[in-house]
Amino acid sequence: MDWDWTFTFDVVLPKMWAAAGVTVWATVASFALALVGGLILMLLKTHRSAWVSRPATELIEVIRATPLLVQIFFLFFLLPEIGITLPPLTTGILAIGLYNSALCAEVYRAGFQAVPRGQWEACIALNMSTYRTYRDVIIPQSLPPIIPALGNYLVAIFKETPLLSFVAVAEIMQVSKLIGAEYYRFTEAITIAGLFFLIMSLIAALLIRIVENYVKRSILH
């Protein structure tokens, strides 16, 4: 195996630097979407009315039961058919965000159910609104178990972003493939892409642990 340092520094790194930014942006945006979307899906799924909860449950099942790559293609090729043309990156963020919303919904549900029944009952006895019940009582208490689980999805989403290379988003995997194809040298670009994912994942795991400890300390006394 031969490794060309000059090629690495002069060609690979400059091109991949911008691509790394796209990967990070796709991760952060998808994760934000999944956090909010997951909460909404969970609230819809546990809604009193079956007219609301059934469709939400079905949607979650459909999303969970089909591969993410299929969903990315689905949105990428079918949204334009109904007149919605979005940039590939936006479509990809939408697809990854939606897919993980369905997964995060389960995390929220498990977290909320872990809050003792007496807490819900106290909220009813104090005549609190549903909004205040969740905002002030249920969500703060369910954060300690939820945060590490959501953190896992952050890392998972990060590792899912190379799928966007299939719809030609210039994220880090796509760019390293292009570099390889252009110069007939894959070693450097692919290795650096791998290292990038490894390092970023480790950093993310560390950050999640810090947030987790912080929340534990500030919520549970």
Partner 1 sequence: MTQPMIRFDKVLKAYGSLQVLKDLDFSVDKGEVVSIIGPSGSGKTTVLRVLMTLEGIQDGTIYVNEDPLNRMLVDGQLMDASRAHIRRIRSKIGMVFQSFNLFPHMTALQNCIESPIYTQGKSKSEATDEAMRLLNMVGLADKANHYPSQLSGGQQQRVAIARTLAMHPEVLLFDEPTSALDPEMVGEVLEVIRDLAESGNYTMLLVTHQMGFAREVSDRVCFFDGGRMVEQGKPDDLFGNPQNARLKQFLSKVLEAG
Is there binding between residue 136 and partner 1 (CB under 8 A)?
A: yes
Can you tell me whether residue 42 is helix, strand or coil? helix
Residue that the structure tokens 């919904």 belong to: 105
Other CB atoms within a 10 A radius of the CB of residue 35 amount to 19
Find the shortest distance in angstroms from Cβ 55 to partner 1: 21
The residue from 64, 132, 159, 217 that contacts partner 1 (CB under 8 A) is 132
The span of 95-103, 117-125, 166-174, 189-197 binding partner 1 (CB under 8 A) equals: 117-125
Is there binding between residue 211 and partner 1 (CB under 8 A)?
A: no
The residue from 121, 159, 186, 210 that contacts partner 1 (CB under 8 A) is 121
Residue that the structure tokens 């609104």 belong to: 129
Is there binding between residue 180 and partner 1 (CB under 8 A)?
A: no
Residues 6+ apart with CB under 8 A from 50: none
The residue from 28, 68, 86, 137 that contacts partner 1 (CB under 8 A) is 137
Instruction: Please give the single-letter amino acid code of residue 60.
Output: I
Q: What is the DSSP string of 98-124?
A: HHHHHHHHHHHHHHHHTS-HHHHHHHH
Is there binding between residue 114 and partner 1 (CB under 8 A)?
A: no
Cα separation of 50 and 52, whole Å? 5
Find the shortest distance in angstroms from Cβ 105 to partner 1: 24
Is there binding between residue 125 and partner 1 (CB under 8 A)?
A: yes
The residue from 122, 168, 203, 206 that contacts partner 1 (CB under 8 A) is 122
Judge contact between 26 and 41, C-beta under 8 A.
no
> Which residues of the chain form contacts with partner 1 (CB under 8 A)?
116, 118-119, 121-122, 124-129, 132, 136-137, 140-141, 219-221
